[in-house]
Amino acid sequence: MTNPKSKSRAAGATSLPELEPQMIPLNKLVISPKNVRKTPATEDQDAELYASIKETGLKQNLLVHKVGTKFHVHAGGRRLAALNKLAEDKIIKPNHPIACSVEDPDQAEDTSAAENMIRAAMHAADQFEAFAALRKKGRTEDEIAKRFGITNDLVRRRLKLASVSPDLMQVFRDGEMSLDCIMAFTLTDDHARQNEAWEVVKQNYNPSPHSIRNQLTQKSYSGSSKLALFVGIDTYKQAGGSVIEDLFAERDAMHLEDPDLLEKLAMDKLQGLAKDATKTWKWAEACLDVDYDSFRPYGRVYPGPLDPDPELEAELAKLQTRQVALESDYDEETWTEELQEEEQKIWARIREIEAIQEANVAYTDEDHKVAGCIVSISHDGEPRLETGLVRPEDIPKPAETDVEDDAEDESTSEGDNSPSGPAIELPAAMSRPDTPLNATDAARKEQGIPRSLADDLRATRHQILRAHLAADYTTAYDAMLYAMAISVLGNYRSQSPLDLSLRPATTTASREVLKDTVAERMLEALNDGLNLAWMEAKAPEDLAQMSALPERDKQALFAWCAAYALNQQLSNDTGASAVIEAIGSRLNVDVAACWRPTADTYWGRVKKDHALDMAKALIDDRWADDKSGLRKAEIAKSMEQAFCDTPQEAAGLTSQAAAKTSRWLPDGMAVGGEEIDQTQPDTAEVDAVVPADDADALPAFMSDAA
């Protein structure tokens, strides 16, 4: 008699079907239309499967059902394709026996759906550890790559990820850290350093790969930094310097961990160049870093023109004569493409000769005897020589003269200090008399804002305001009319906001900081949109054509010209025009949306204490204290990230701090709008900014240009 319990167990076992594997020739297997996977995998995924089967064999049976003399594969289509490719490559025979499990055709679609849908992908951390385990068994990177059909570079990356601290890997497994963050930690294999960096960055609102890399490389130089380019990676390594490589970064993938060694090598090389320079100049000094204000203490001598090349002079005269002839004989009916091509070539050659003539200058022996140079490093890692610098103690004292003579020829004492020597431009400290500081200048001095930085901020603000005024005919018309009226009808009690001679503001010294800005792109877009076809006509036809322009085109021209003549100022300049500020308010100029303080344009040019004070006031004391021990250049870079337009992403700030730093502007830069606390109690005035959500901060049609 059968035991009821054993009968029950037998009944339970039949609920889990067991299929005996059968060995079926490969050439009898075809893909089944009942296979639910219709979208093919990627080529890389198929290549990995092919390599795996080639190296280790088929690890899982195919599920098939019989149709006539063939067997249709309803689960394992990718494996079947890989096996067929192995047969095509003559690695296995066409009739190679394949382990298959034969099912009833009615179960095919259910099985196929279950196999493709009821699966869980392997966690990335498990993949990393699996690769590391294979490496420990003695498998080479090449062997692992072949086994899984992937590149050696991908194997190295996965092995590198396996070197991350187990504590951090567990955080990753728990879903509290992204894969990108794990990648960032591979900059170093030091687990203690990794854990320490995580303890710091996890305090941020949203820890990012950028903040992790920044924390791990605070005491290092990027491989693309100017010092690294100047010294050379190989030279640095030969001197014993260590390097860490970021396998997951597209740029700045290499970091030099010994900044002191790198700086020493750079200084040694600079001093060698400086020594060579003393063969020509009175003195030469090597400097790792120079900024806009490094040369202000020095006077200047400039190279003078050399004798012109007679052949070039004759060629230029001949070209100019032919150019005049072409212009005089111009007639649309007789003008040909050949003449047009000739005229263009003449213009090009004239400009080329003029450039040669401008470059045909040199210092004199007298210049070399009184002046020197500073040897530094350019941004692209090349040696940079700033020549013609005259130290204050080397400037010849002017001959003693009567007071009357001094009063009559004051300008001469500013430039040429020695009747028989070279003309020396005096440094600012010697050419300007000492005058008491007003409240604004005193505040700037306290912040460490030099005159050249104030000039650049003023020029930047002017460019932004001009770009908005050039896009607003109504405001430009009123501003121009106001300027004309107070000049012609008034008694000059009011200060004109425009220069009626239509001369542009002098911003030559700030031309570098005005390049590739939002305001420059706005101005370029506006200029490209001007209708200037009428200017090609000769007078007085040009006047008639301009008068016939559509009103919109004339308004654009008027606004452009009005903005061209706009005077520049910071709002807290002594004697600043209230009318210009009113114009800016009317234009709803959002300076913070057009300009952010960077290491080059602001933070690297002010006192370290000023930067840290701003960080304490707008971020928090802890953040500022963490940066206080860094070099000035590193603080400036950190401040740039914290005060950019996306500080949460760039510096990992909280949303509250980011709302303040992303809108902060130095004193005098803001234009109109609602006043906010700039947290600078020692400053004479408090700036104002437009709220971030002001939809009219930029002209609507300029949104693309901005």
DSSP character string of 401-441: --HHHHHHTHHHHHH---TTS---BPPHHHHS------HHH
Please, which pLDDT band fits residue 215 given cuts at 50, 70 and 90?
low
**Separation of alpha carbons 568 and 458, rounded Å:** 6
Please, which pLDDT band fits residue 405 given cuts at 50, 70 and 90?
very low
pLDDT digits (tens, 9 = 90+) for 603-647: 988 888 899 999 999 999 999 988 888 888 888 899 999 999 999
Structure tokens at 677: 């606390």
Does residue 501 have a pLDDT over 50? Answer: yes
**Separation of alpha carbons 124 and 133, rounded Å:** 14
Please, which pLDDT band fits residue 122 given cuts at 50, 70 and 90?
low
Label the pairing between strands 62-67 and 97-102: parallel
Q: What is the pLDDT of residue 591?
A: 92
Q: What is the pLDDT of residue 704?
A: 43
Q: What is the pLDDT of residue 676?
A: 42
Does residue 698 have a pLDDT over 60? Answer: no
Label the pairing between strands 29-31 and 70-75: parallel
Mean pLDDT, residues 599-606 = 89
Q: What is the pLDDT of residue 274?
A: 93
Does residue 422 have a pLDDT over 60? Answer: yes
329-338, 376-385, 595-604: lowest mean pLDDT where? 329-338
Give the residue carrying structure tokens 């100017």. Answer: 226
Q: What is the pLDDT of residue 11?
A: 44
End-to-end CA separation in angstroms for the chain: 92
Q: What is the pLDDT of residue 485?
A: 62
Q: Alpha helix locations (H) across 360-397?
A: 365-370
Phi, psi of 75 (to 5 degrees): -145, 110
More confident residue, 319 or 41: 319
More confident residue, 374 or 541: 374
Please, which pLDDT band fits residue 218 given cuts at 50, 70 and 90?
low
Contacts of 11 (CB under 8 A, 6+ apart): none
Mean pLDDT, residues 129-141 = 72
Mean pLDDT, residues 228-241 = 90
Nearest CA to 390 among 281, 270, 277, 272? Answer: 281
Q: What is the crossing angle of helices 141-148 and 152-161, to 10°?
A: 110
Q: What is the pLDDT of residue 268?
A: 93
Mean pLDDT, residues 95-118 = 80
Does residue 132 have a pLDDT over 80? Answer: no
Label the pairing between strands 243-245 and 304-305: unpaired
CA angle 601, 602, 607 (to 5 degrees): 145
Give the rounded percent of residues in the chain with a pLDDT score beyond 90. 14
Please, which pLDDT band fits residue 281 given cuts at 50, 70 and 90?
very high
Does residue 251 have a pLDDT over 50? Answer: no
Q: What is the pLDDT of residue 674?
A: 41
Beta-carbon-side half-sphere exposure of residue 49 (alpha carbons within 13 Å): 19
**Separation of alpha carbons 246 and 184, rounded Å:** 8
Question: Cβ(624)–Cβ(635) under 8 Å?
Answer: no
Q: What is the pLDDT of residue 502?
A: 66
Does residue 269 have a pLDDT over 90? Answer: yes
Q: What is the pLDDT of residue 615?
A: 93
Question: Cβ(270)–Cβ(287) under 8 Å?
Answer: yes
Beta-carbon-side half-sphere exposure of residue 312 (alpha carbons within 13 Å): 14
Mean pLDDT, residues 686-696 = 36
Mean pLDDT, residues 425-454 = 72
Peptide bond before residue 540 is cis, with ω within 30 degrees of 0: yes
Q: What is the pLDDT of residue 687?
A: 36
Mean pLDDT, residues 266-294 = 88
More confident residue, 335 or 67: 67
Mean pLDDT, residues 426-443 = 67
Mean pLDDT, residues 568-593 = 88
pLDDT digits (tens, 9 = 90+) for 349-380: 988 888 888 888 889 999 999 999 999 998 88
Q: What is the pLDDT of residue 51?
A: 76
Question: Cβ(257)–Cβ(228) under 8 Å?
Answer: no
Give the residue carrying structure tokens 């005491």. Answer: 219
Q: For the beta carbon of residue 534, count every other beta carbon within 10 angstroms.
A: 17
Q: What is the pLDDT of residue 9?
A: 43
Question: Cβ(465)–Cβ(590) under 8 Å?
Answer: no
Give strand ranges (E) for 267-339. 284-286, 299-300, 304-305
Does residue 307 have a pLDDT over 70? Answer: yes
Does residue 678 have a pLDDT over 60? Answer: no
Does residue 401 have a pLDDT over 80? Answer: no
Mean pLDDT, residues 414-437 = 61
Q: What is the pLDDT of residue 368?
A: 92
Contacts of 280 (CB under 8 A, 6+ apart): 368
Mean pLDDT, residues 111-121 = 64
Please, which pLDDT band fits residue 30 given cuts at 50, 70 and 90?
very high
Mean pLDDT across the chain: 77
Q: What is the pLDDT of residue 50?
A: 82
Give strand ranges (E) for 26-96. 29-31, 62-67, 70-75
Please, which pLDDT band fits residue 412 given cuts at 50, 70 and 90?
very low
Please, which pLDDT band fits residue 484 given cuts at 50, 70 and 90?
low
